[in-house]
Amino acid sequence: MKNNTEITNSINDKLFDDDFYQSNVFLLGEIHGYADNQTLDRELLFFLNKKVGVKYYIAEMDSIAAAKLNNFLTDSLKNQETLKDVVLAIRKRIPQQSSQELLEKWNAIYDYNQQLTDSSRITVIGVDKNVDDHSKVARDSAMVINFKNSIKHLKLENEKFYGLFGYFHVLQNTTENGKQTFASELKKSGIKTTSFVSYTLDSEMYLPKIPQFPTPENERVDWSNADGPLQLVKGINDLKELSKPNAITLFKLNSENSPYLKSQHLIRIKSRVFGENIVPQKDTFTTDYFQYVFLLRNSKALTSLK
């Protein structure tokens, strides 16, 4: 069996086995700013909703923003002002995600929801700390606490969940810096989790104007891809050879006899973007961190909200 498949307009299930569907939580980790990740997020959500009935979307936002988003999703009017408020508020925490494409994604999820029965509609659960919360609890630990509290409060013990997060949060093991992540804490507490990460080549990233950074006039940069110059994902060229330009390719890393079961390729990253290199723990392997990689080639940058 080939362990990669090209993703065209929707996700196909060629690389997913029974074990994959046993997961309770599915996570997609992105480096913010690339338009194709918003498409991927939407399509993964729709796929998992159809396939295993996932209807709870866990989001890297606080419960206040999530409540607004749920108001938008359940409003019979498809209120664009409500949605705009949510998208603009995201600037505070993830400026690179607040975009036209984010707005369009939620509009598409609204439309999709309209075709579903009330009991199977998609609902958002915000797990992040409140922007004004300056407590000592680490952000990822707070996310896990908030997630577990939501499960308890909403009685969702038998449900499955899906969400899009920044890259670090979906790593299922700590790296050499020892910091716990959202996914590593989920896994530690016995919640079966599958992580996808997304890497880019020949793609442009949206970089909104911030004082401490030399952002170009059009707010788009092409120097943050997986093959340099500012970061280098070890082994990325192996995936490049198996993919095409202008395409999204999905790779399964945890098949029997996969080289990634015994190597640290794709998880070892030299980086000036993150502020530190990503160095996996000694005696760990790529699949201890994530099981699938999406390779985005020639993705456009997200665009600032009009």
Q: What is the pLDDT of residue 211?
A: 73
* Predicted local confidence at residue 9, as pLDDT: 82
pLDDT of residue 8: 81
| CA-based nearest residue to 73, from 34, 113, 38 | 113
Q: How far apart are CA 242 and CA 236, in angstroms?
A: 10
Domain 4-297 falls under CATH 3.40.50: yes
Q: Please state, in angstroms and rounded to a whole number, the distance separating the CA atoms of residues 188 and 185.
A: 5
Alpha helices in the chain (DSSP H): 18-21, 35-52, 63-74, 80-89, 100-114, 139-153, 182-188, 236-241
Instruction: Encode the chain (306 residues) as per-residue pLDDT tens digits.
Output: 589 999 988 899 999 999 999 999 999 999 999 999 999 999 999 999 999 999 999 999 999 999 999 999 999 999 999 999 999 999 999 999 999 999 999 999 999 999 999 889 999 999 999 988 889 999 999 999 999 999 999 999 999 999 999 999 999 999 999 999 999 999 999 999 999 999 999 999 999 987 777 788 899 999 889 998 889 999 999 999 999 999 999 999 999 999 999 999 999 999 887 678 999 999 999 999 999 999 999 999 999 997
Tokens representing residue 118 in the block: 């009330």
* CB neighbours of residue 190 within 10 Å: 7
- d(CA 142, CA 126) in angstroms, rounded, equals 11
The pLDDT value given to residue 84: 97
Backbone angle region of 85, left / alpha / beta, with phi > 0 → left and psi within -120 to 50 → alpha: alpha
Residues 246, 299: Cα–Cα separation, whole Å = 7
Domain boundaries defined on the chain = 4-297
Instruction: Answer yes or no: are the C-beta atoms of 294 and 7 closer than 8 Å.
Output: yes
